[in-house]
Homo-oligomer: A and B are copies of this chain.
Amino acid sequence: MPMWVITCPPDAYSAEDKAAFASRITDLYQRFGLPRFYVTVFFQEVAKENFMIGGEATDDFVRIWIDHIARRTPPDRARRVMELVNETLQPFVADRGFRWEVHVDDTPFEMWSIQGFFPPPAGSDHEKRWAAENKASAYELTEA
């Protein structure tokens, strides 16, 4: 988590573009304290005949679907989150002449696991350690 699925026309982005795009997305979450390895970005290149917007086969559109898991966004923060998402996208959509649409789903924190571990609570010292080491590892939850 988060998992970004970026569906785009074939050859919309070079391998270097994709690496830069994914890195920029990962930076966004790191600024909020998330370990970098939490961030998955998939690129799906879809041919025009399989990519329909408004019932029309399309080759100038980037459709981004995001599952958020580690953090749940309260409704009054949603607009700010989406502004940050759009700022992150900007150089790879608007600036390239693509149309785009993005939506985020929130999925349950309890139903998420990495390397067989349950990720530590948001903002906890364990999470900070996972972020610093950039990998999942065993930890013990102590009572508050």
Binding site for B on A (CB under 8 A): 1, 3, 7, 15, 18-19, 22-23, 25-27, 35-46, 49-57, 63, 65, 67, 69, 73, 75, 78-79, 81-82, 85-86, 94, 99-108, 110-116, 118, 134
Contacts and interface: CB of A to CB of B under 8 A. Distances in A.
Q: Which of A38, A110, A114, A134 has the most CB of B within 10 A?
A: A110
A40 B64 CA distance: 11
A55 B51 CA distance: 26
Q: Which of A15, A55, A86 has the most CB of B within 10 A?
A: A55
> At the interface, is chain A mostly helix, strand, loop or mixed?
mixed
Q: Which of A36, A37, A134 has the most CB of B within 10 A?
A: A37
A118 B50 contact: no
B55 A19 contact: yes
